[in-house]
Amino acid sequence: MIERQETNKRMSKIVKHNGTVYLCGQVGNRGDNMTEQTTECLRRIDELLAQAGSNKEQILQAIVWVADMNEFQQMNEVWDAWVPEGHAPARACGEAKLASPELKVEIIITAAYNA
């Protein structure tokens, strides 16, 4: 009934239940700038969605945390180019420091998947 993938003692990267898949919060690589971190974060989301039998056209909700709202625009440029036309999810964005001071963006994805 619940299917988990890439599970360790702290979290699963993918949890599927009843038509909805939850991804663990995705980030980019420490040390990279906002454009690079957002690009890598979205690449990892693409990869996890594929692994879950989903894709970016099926995202329902995205909660975006940026460590510094002054870099909101750089994040948005990468985001806007990545979102497939006509399939943008519900989104919210707030500022939050992340697990490491070098991390600039974290995105929490909820999506539908192919049964």
Residues near a copy of itself (CB under 8 A): 1-2, 4, 7-15, 17-20, 22-25, 58, 60-63, 65, 69, 72, 76, 79-80, 83, 85-99, 101, 106, 108, 110, 112
Beta carbons of 21 and 112 less than 8 angstroms apart: yes
Task: Compute CA 53 distance to the chain's CA centroid, rounded to the nearest angstrom.
Answer: 16
Taking the complex as a whole, the smallest distance from the CB of residue 36 to a copy of itself amounts, in Å, to: 20
Cα separation of 113 and 84, whole Å? Answer: 16
Q: Which is nearer to a copy of itself, 43 or 60 (CB)?
A: 60
Beta carbons of 83 and 56 less than 8 angstroms apart: yes
Q: Which is nearer to a copy of itself, 29 or 69 (CB)?
A: 69
